[in-house]
Structure 1
Amino acid sequence: MTRKKQLGKIFLHAFIIVFGLCMIYPVLWMVTGSLKNNSEIITGSLNLIPPAWRWENFATGWKGFGGITFGTFFKNSLIVTSLSTLGTVLSSACVAYAFTRINFKFKGFWFAVMLATMMIPGQIILIPQYIIYNKLGMVGTYIPLILPHWFGQAFFIYQMVQFMVSIPQELDEAAYMDGCTKYSIFAKIIFPLLKPAIVTTIIIQFYWKWDDFMGPLIYLNKPQSYTVSLALKMFADSSSRTDFGAMFAMSTLSLLPVFIIFLVFNKYLVEGISTSGLKG
């Protein structure tokens, strides 16, 4: 029996390693492709090791287009992503607090409506939103990319509601006895206890917004305001030669912010989930 368990563990670990390599291989191929020239990328097939390490691809890619360096595109993405993530965290936490701690008319109905919005494809509301922002003169700015996130996101509201209902109501009652209002209870008690949900929201929302391509494509019309995801597309030119090496180099750099965010917050995410101890 012990031998069978050992063989089972060996098989399981071997399967996980092979599956993990299959999952990470495209990323490794892109990273190593950033050190190759076009012919090596096209004819090199699945080979990961570059014949020569061409670091000049990073310098070429960083130059950008039309005198606009990739530093500008990274700055634009950081502005849009950071403000959107901050708005998502604050607004979703406030809405979740209202659904879990405040009694108001038709609360169940509005909660159902909020959940129903998660089932609506984003393409359905794309045209009406564009018409509204265009009439308000906001097309060409970052406002359409940032503003909606300051009014709550259904997915993260639901996530925070599920976590918030596990926080004992006795904490609120004790705070009321000490003279706290609903606002101070939220700011001083509930919000700090939401760390696991907040960290999860930061990681997911930052990743989603950093990789967003459709939003910048629809609302941004000046190259100097492009985000990284939109700028990477500019490397591909159907009428002339595409510099795949520079494209892969900038794609590799574009992974760093997401990777850093995950490394920084992953520790708090794991600690929060394993030590929250608020279930009942």
Structure 2
Amino acid sequence: MKKRTKTADAIYYTFVILFGFVMLYPILWMVASSLKPQTEIFGNAASLWPGEFMWENYAKGWEGFGRTGFDVYFSNSIFITTLSVIGAILSSSIVAYGFARLQFRFKKILFACLLGTVMLPVQITLIPQYIMFHNIGWVNTFYPLIVPAFLGGTPFFIFLLIQFIRGIPRELDEAAIIDGCSTFGIFWRIILPLIKPALVTVAIFAFMWAWDDFLAPLIYLNSADIQTVSLGLRNFMDAEGGTSWGPLLAMSTLSLLPQFIIFLFFQKHLVEGIATTGLK
């Protein structure tokens, strides 16, 4: 029996390792190709070991284009992403608290509208939003990428936080009311500290979506000095009428580092936040 169990475990772990390697292979190929010469990237595409290490790809990629280096793109992305994460956490948590704990007119109708917006494609609202931002003079500024995060919250994040807040006993709210706590005080002192795992989950998703966003910066940011990393990577495909694959893959590798670091340090909270939102 023990021999059969060990054989099954060996088969299972072998399959998991092979499947994990298949999933990681594109990332490993990108990292390896970022150190290859231009002719070797596709000439020996399957190899994960460069025949010649071209560290110049990173130096050339970091220089950027014209007077705009990749340090500017990274600074812009960090600024936009940080404020977007803060806005998503604040606005989504407040709205979620209102739906989960407060009683008001048309609550069910508004919640149904909220669920409907989760299934609404972003392309439907793109043109009306652009017209609105153009009329108020926000095109070619950071405002269209930051301000919406502070207004009303993100439907997916709100729904996730509602499920988490509903799992918190209402007796805690009643005890706080007896002690003289206001409605906002209950949210700030009781609910907000208890939903920390869900807030970390929201922060990670908001960071990933804002950092990887390509469409919104492409639509609203025109000047090179305010563009993000995603637009900076696209510029490599227009350089000298061709594609500078070495610098492109080098900067793509660097652009993934913040996401890997965030996920590495907050993986525990991410899993906990996703798992506990479904518990009653």
> TM-score under structure 2 normalisation?
0.95
| Offset, 1:240 | 2.1
Amino acid at match of 2:98: A
| Offset, 1:267 | 3.6
Contact 2:204 2:270 in 1 (8 A): no
| Offset, 1:158 | 0.3
Which digits, 9 at most, give the CA deviation of each residue in 1:161-193, with x for residues without a partner? 000000000000000000000111111110011
> TM-score under structure 1 normalisation?
0.95
Amino acid at match of 2:83: L
Is 1:93–2:116 an aligned residue pair?
Answer: no
* Residue correspondence of structure 1 range 53-64 to structure 2 within 5 A: 53-64=53-64
Separation of aligned partners in 1, 2:183 and 2:24:
47
Q: Report what 1:163 is aligned to.
A: 164
Amino acid at match of 2:126: L
* Residue correspondence of structure 1 range 80-229 to structure 2 within 5 A: 80-150=80-150, 151-229=152-230
Distance 1:239 1:62, change over 3 A: closer
| Offset, 1:268 | 3.7
Separation of aligned partners in 2, 1:234 and 1:270:
36
Amino acid at match of 2:54: R
Number of residues paired by the alignment? 279
Amino acid at match of 2:53: W
RMSD over aligned CA atoms reads 1.9
Which digits, 9 at most, give the CA deviation of each residue in 1:210-235, with x for residues without a partner? 00000100000101111001110000
Separation of aligned partners in 2, 1:272 and 1:159:
9
Identity of counterpart residues, as a percentage?
A: 50
Separation of aligned partners in 1, 2:210 and 2:264:
18
Separation of aligned partners in 2, 1:43 and 1:166:
56
| Offset, 1:9 | 2.0
Separation of aligned partners in 2, 1:243 and 1:272:
41
Could you tell me which runs of 5 or more consecutive residues in structure 1 were left unpaired when the two chains were aligned.
none
Separation of aligned partners in 1, 2:162 and 2:5:
41
Could you tell me which runs of 5 or more consecutive residues in structure 2 were left unpaired when the two chains were aligned.
none
| Offset, 1:260 | 1.2
Distance 1:271 1:154, change over 3 A: closer
Provide the secondary structure at the position in 1 that maps to 2:241.
Answer: coil
